[in-house]
Amino acid sequence: MSTGWIVLGVIVVLAFLAFGAYNRLVALSQRVGQAFADIDVQLKQRHDLIPNLVETVKGYAAHERGTLDDVVKARNTALSAQGPAQVSAAEAQLSGALGRLIALSEAYPDLKANANFQQLQSELSDIENKLAASRRFFNNAVQEYNTGIQQMPAVLFAGMLGFTRKDFFDLGENRVQMDQAPAVKF
């Protein structure tokens, strides 16, 4: 009779461990989803700002059509990207194109002095700072989640319950550039 109670006790303890591990993994997974949604909000603001920036530059540097087209094309690619891997690759391209667009202001003093351009450039810098913070929060959430599915006792249940490793928001070669906010010069 006591062996039956011991077996039952072990089963109950394992069940509590499984429920606890499952609930913790669900919470960590939700945190990753919320963190990516935060990045998405910042990216939407960035994408909404880009047409205004392009139009402002177009008025002063209309013959720089290639740079303007690159920005528009990169924005459209970024808008259609899905998932952290595609979004990070598309955003890296967009950041490069935006960097070239901002660099045009050095060649056009009238553009550089334009109040609208200065305001848009300042807003872009602010959004880039918020994006950097959101990426750090997302990558931290992914790290905690990935660690959570590899720790005991969750590792025993994670695969069976459908919890798989998540990807970081990787900026690839542009990581150094993206970790620094764009300089706003007046």
Task: Give me 83's structure tokens.
Answer: 């998932």
Distance CA 41, CA 36 (A): 9
DSSP state of 63: T
Q: Average pLDDT of the chain?
A: 86
Fold category of 2-179 in CATH: de novo design (two linked rop proteins) (1.20.1440)
How confident is residue 171, by pLDDT bands cut at 50, 70 and 90?
A: low
pTM confidence score = 0.76
Model confidence pLDDT, tens digit, residues 122-162 = 899 999 999 999 999 999 999 999 999 999 888 888 888 88
pLDDT at 179 over 60: no
CB 166 within 8 A of CB 145: yes
pLDDT value of position 185: 45
Distance CA 175, CA 92 (A): 8
Cβ neighbours for 29, distance < 8 A, ≥ 6 positions apart: 145, 163
Model confidence pLDDT, tens digit, residues 27-64 = 999 999 999 999 999 999 999 999 988 888 887 777 77
Residue 183 three-state SS: coil
